[in-house]
Chains A and B, each alone.
Chain A
Amino acid sequence: MRFLVSLLFVFAMEASAQVSTGSDGWQSWRIEKQPGGGEMCCYRSGRKAGCELDGRPGHHQAPMAAPDGQRFARIYARMQDDEVLDLHTFSDSCPVTTSTPINDLGLVDNADSVDWLSARISDRNLDEVLLAISVHAGDKALSRLKTSAQPGRSHREREQAIFWMAQHRGSETRQLITDVARSDPSYRLREHAVFALSQLGNVDGIDALTAVLADRSFPMNSRKQALFWLAQSDSDDAFAVIDGYLDP
């Protein structure tokens, strides 16, 4: 009984932790990961090799998606005077090395983590922060991504938000991305939105692109983009659609 109480206490302690990065150096915390994504780690020659967080610029290998199924992801933030110098997001299972110790903050509430990250978005770390937010499970992360995708935000922020929504929150944001592809005033963003639709995952992506292609309410350029991305796929359905345009 005493063991059970202790266990519950430990879980409760862990779940109630907040992002508290008062000290300089590497801070890390776990968050509950949006289900479905692949394993985020560093790979060499297609094999998981772990990530060196202090490597020279360009030394890091891009995280790759591989079959995952894990419940948690981990955020790594290198802090100095409450400023984020570096930010990385990896699967919890991904080994990392650093030249200085990592201060482990444990499991952090997803909403708190999203708030912390949102408060630190800047032009310099836009890509990393939006990637990190997109990995978080829960409504708060989704809401934050949608906010970043809204008109009025910078082009780059919208572009990144749309991309990461398609990567990690595709089923919930397909309509929003489709609307951007249809009617956003920005030609470049419409093109980007069509590309993002192609990233929804094979079946959803082909379905979304085919819908854009067939719908005359979309600008012609978005429809042509849809054809381009369909041709990039390796899907029988996609090539049947293309064939249909060439051999009606």
Chain B
Amino acid sequence: MNYRHALLVLISTLLISGATLAQDGEQDELKLAALEALIAAPGDRALPIVLKVLDSDESLEFKERALFILSQINHPDARTRLLDLAFASDGPLRVEAIRMLGISGDYDSLDRLRQQYGAADDDLKDSIVEAHLIAGHTEGVLAIAQTAQNPDDFERAVNALGAMGAREELRALRERSDMFESIINALAISGDVDTLLEMARDDSNVEQQLKAIEALGIAGGGGEVLIDIYKNTDSDAVRESVRHGLLVSGHDNGVLDLYRAADDVAEKKELLQLLVMMGSDQAMEIIDAALTGEQ
């Protein structure tokens, strides 16, 4: 009897604690839903509640969600609070607050945030540039590049401009000839074939020219341009860069045309190797035909 009673007590305890756990989970779920519901609420209603959450003892994860809601509230106090958190030198929400300033798309806040860039560490600089990227603030990123104190800062900004497709801003940076590699890479990512072609035809700086030729392979639509450059040059270095570009572009039909037009055995061999590296079906047919001819 005592044993049965003890068992019942144990079972009921387990059931109650299970129900409590379920209830806790349920409350957490509703709490999160309550926070997320504020995203569509009138700003002056949502703001005091969100600010209260940010000042509370809630988990960092929950507060990060609150930051997102804050970034979506169109109210000057919401921006001020985000900026305060973004400027807080050792605040746990700093990086997330910077990202949220980007999501909010508020260029004025980002311009103020940029004042911190010079004194920031690398992680913070990444966050600031990322916020500009999210907001699409190309002018701000250009300003970072133009005032960069070292190659890393410059490259970070230029890479972001490439990802943003900010061709005009990248062209404005071309005068930084010492950083041509970063600029060419970003131009390629932005798909600016015209500027790359212009650089590819300019032989005043051979190193830059060769890099631009290779980058044409990265920029979509550069395949035909590369074939054209190949046909109209006598430079082995230029041809080698074109081959690198063609390999990246995957324009195997163009390489096949070059192969068929080539008279020089060494050149044919280079182009055939390129076709093989590109995984071209035509390369296998050429090899088969060559083997059959030998037999």
Q: Is B33 an interface residue (CB 8 A)?
A: yes
Please report which residues of chain A, range 204-236, place their CB below 8 angstroms from some CB of chain B when the two chains form the complex. 213, 216, 220, 223-224, 227-228, 230-232, 234
Does the CB pair B37–A246 fall under 8 Å?
no
Cβ contact within 8 Å between B37 and A228: yes
Contact between chains at B45 and A246 (CB < 8 Å): no
Which one of A231, A234, A239, A245 contacts B30 once the chains associate, using CB atoms below 8 Å?
A245
Q: Is the CB of B37 within 8 A of A242?
A: yes
Q: How far is the CA of A230 from the CA of B53 in the complex (A)?
A: 18
Q: Which of A216, A230, A246 contacts B26 (CB 8 A)?
A: A216
Which one of A223, A227, A246 contacts B49 once the chains associate, using CB atoms below 8 Å?
Answer: A246
Contact call B52/A231, Cβ cutoff below 8 A: no
Closest chain B residue to A247, Cβ basis: B52
Asked whether any CB of chain B lies closer than 8 Å to the CB of A123, the reply is no
- Contact in complex: A213, B37 (CB < 8 Å): no
Q: Quick check: A231 and B29 within 8 Å, CB to CB?
A: no
For A245, the chain B residues whose CB sits under 8 A away are: 27, 30-31, 33-34
A243 within 8 A of B: yes
Is B6 among interface residues, defined by CB-CB distance under 8 A? no
Quick one: CB contact mask for A118-131 with B, threshold 8 Å, 1 for yes? 00000000000000
Q: Tally A residues with Cβ within 8 Å of B.
A: 18
Question: What are the residues of chain B within 8 A of A243 when measuring CB–CB?
Answer: 49, 52
In the assembled complex, B46 has its CB within 8 A of some CB on chain A: yes
Which of B26, B27, B46 sits near A231, CB closer than 8 Å?
A: B46
B1 close to A (CB within 8 Å)? no
Q: Which B residues are in CB contact (< 8 Å) with A224?
A: 29-30, 33, 37
B45 touching A239 by the CB < 8 A rule? Answer: yes
A213 near B30 (CB under 8 angstroms)?
yes
Residues of chain B lying within 8 A (CB to CB) of residue A231: 34, 37-38, 40-41, 45-46
Binary per-residue interface labels of chain B (31-68) against chain A in the complex, 1 for a CB within 8 Å, 0 otherwise = 10111011011100110010011001000000000000
**Once the chains bind, are A246 and B34 in contact (CB under 8 Å)?**
yes
Which residues of chain A have C-beta atoms less than 8 A from B52's C-beta?
A: 243, 246-247
Q: Is the CB of A227 within 8 A of B30?
A: yes
Complex contact A246–B35 (CB within 8 A): yes
- Pair B45/A234 contact, Cβ less than 8 Å: yes
Given contact pairs A246-B49, A246-B53, A247-B56, A228 touches B35 in the complex (Cβ within 8 A): no
Contact A223 B37 (CB under 8 A): no
> Is the CB–CB distance between B34 and A242 below 8 Å?
yes
Report B188-219 CB contacts with A as 1/0, cut-off 8 Å. Answer: 00000000000000000000000000000000
Q: Is the CB of B49 within 8 A of A230?
A: no
- What residue in chain B is nearest A243 (Cβ atoms)? B49
Is the pair A227, B37 in contact by a Cβ cutoff of 8 Å? yes
**CA A180 – CA B142 in complex, angstroms?**
56
Contact B56 A223 (CB under 8 A): no
Does the CB pair B33–A228 fall under 8 Å? yes
- Give, as a whole number of angstroms, the nearest-CB distance from B100 to chain A: 19
A78, chain B: closest CB distance, angstroms:
38
Cα–Cα distance between A230 and B34 once the two chains are bound (Å): 9
A220–B22 alpha-carbon span in the complex (Å): 12
B38 / chain A contacts, CB cutoff of 8 Å? 231, 242
- Beta-carbon contact of B30 and A223 below 8 Å: yes
- Could you tell me the distance in whole angstroms from the C-beta of B182 to the nearest C-beta in chain A? 46
Report B47 CB to chain A, min CB distance, Å: 11
Cβ of B37: which chain A residues have Cβ within 8 Å of it? 224, 227-228, 230-231, 242
**Chain B contacts of A246 at CB under 8 A?**
31, 34-35, 49, 52-53
Given A239-B49, A242-B49, A246-B53, A227-B42 contact (CB < 8 Å): no
A228 to B46, CA, bound (A): 12
In the complex, which residues of chain A have a beta carbon less than 8 angstroms from the beta carbon of B27?
A: 245, 248
B20 to chain A, nearest CB (A): 13
Q: Which residues of B contact A213 (CB under 8 A)?
A: 30
CA gap between A224 and B27 in the complex, in Å: 11
Those of B240-257 within 8 Å (CB) of chain A: none
Residues in B neighbouring A232, C-beta threshold 8 A: 40-41
CB of A29, distance to nearest CB on chain B (Å): 41
- Closest CB of chain A to B284's CB: distance in Å? 54
Expressed in whole angstroms, the minimum distance between the Cβ of A224 and any Cβ of chain B is: 4
Closest to B23 in A: A216
Contact between A227 and B41, CB atoms less than 8 A apart? no
Known: A246-B35, A246-B49. A234 touches B42 (CB 8 A): yes
What would be 20 A-B contacts, judged by CB atoms less than 8 Å apart?
Answer: A223-B33, A224-B29, A224-B30, A227-B33, A227-B34, A228-B37, A228-B40, A231-B37, A231-B40, A231-B41, A232-B41, A242-B38, A242-B41, A243-B49, A245-B27, A245-B34, A246-B34, A246-B53, A247-B53, A247-B56
The 7 closest A-B pairs by CB, nearest first: A231-B37, A245-B34, A231-B41, A224-B33, A227-B37, A228-B37, A227-B33
Which B residues lie at the A interface, using CB under 8 A? 26-27, 29-31, 33-35, 37-38, 40-42, 45-46, 49, 52-53, 56
Q: A227-B33, A228-B37, A243-B49 are in contact. List 4 more A-B contacts (CB 8 A).
A: A227-B34, A228-B33, A246-B34, A246-B35
